[in-house]
Amino acid sequence: MADMDAAEKARGFAAYGKQTLHNFVTAGMSDDAKAAFRDGDIDKLMVHLEKMVFDACGKTAMLFCGSPEGTMLRNVKTGQSATRVITADGIPIWEFSGKAALETSHEPVLTPEEDWKCVYDPEKENH
């Protein structure tokens, strides 16, 4: 980030924060966390919320440090393709094409991993 100006850094941090919040919200609360909330047991609830925050942050880190933009994968079982793109908000996602309508995924790793094979890696391109 040394070559980035302040506005670029701010956009990057905003995208990172937005994705972390997305991960936190979509994960939902575990049954144990829900029980602690219903029981009003703040100490137990905080333990579960802390785990949720760490999981959301870890998933975001994997997403932002994962495959570079332009990476292309193909599912060996379905033939569906996935391309790593950066959204207007600066969030790296997988964009799917193929047999199904165009979809996207915020998952850092497409699963099951053994079904997805890399067909283009921009970092291994001969320049």
Task: For residue 105, give the DSSP letter.
Answer: E
Let me know: does 86 contact 73? Beta carbons within 8 Å. no
- Amino acid (1-letter code) at residue 58: G
Q: Flag whether pLDDT at 127 surpasses 50.
A: no
pTM of the model: 0.72
Q: Which amino acid is at 63?
A: L
pLDDT, tens digit, for every residue of 13-41? 899 999 999 999 999 999 999 999 999 99
Each residue's pLDDT tens digit, 97-119: 876 556 889 888 898 999 999 99
Closest by CA position to 110, among listed 68, 56, 73: 73
Q: How far apart are CA 52 and CA 68, in angstroms?
A: 26
